[in-house]
Amino acid sequence: ALFERELLSAGGAGGDATAVAPGAFKATNFGSFVRQLNLYGFHKTPVLAGAGAAGLPGSAGPLLRFCSPYFRRDRPDLLVHIKRLTRANRERLAAGLEVRSRQPSRFQQ
């Protein structure tokens, strides 16, 4: 609930300077956000024991962690390998063809 309210809602965190830019995420609920992560090749990984969200305000359960081999700190060069796994892209990969990325958005530049 906290993630949806602070990051996915259209209003963001109410003028907080650290808030994500409005419209940075197309999803407005957490389930849709997770689906998008999966489409871009991210996978849910186990969280270390004791790292639950029991003490976080607005938390409805344990913390979730998503990982991708191409999303690494201090490695922006790997981001070009993150591609949306659409049906057409899966077919191209299966045929051994290259899957091209979109041009970088203003957030990536």
The predicted-structure confidence for 23-72, as pLDDT tens digits, reads as follows 667 788 888 888 889 888 899 988 766 555 554 555 556 778 899 999 99
Q: How far apart are CA 48 and CA 39, in angstroms?
A: 25
- Band of the pLDDT at 17, cuts 50, 70, 90? very low
- At position 39, the amino acid (one-letter code) is L
Between residues 3 and 100, the one the model is more confident about: 3
Between residues 92 and 106, the one the model is more confident about: 92
Between residues 100 and 7, the one the model is more confident about: 7
Residue reference for tokens 């057409």: 88
Domain ranges of the chain: 1-12+22-68, 71-104
Between residues 2 and 42, the one the model is more confident about: 42
Query: pLDDT tens digit string along 83-93?
Result: 888 888 778 87
State the virtual CA torsion across 20, 26, 32, 34 in degrees, nearest 10.
Answer: -50
pTM of the model: 0.62
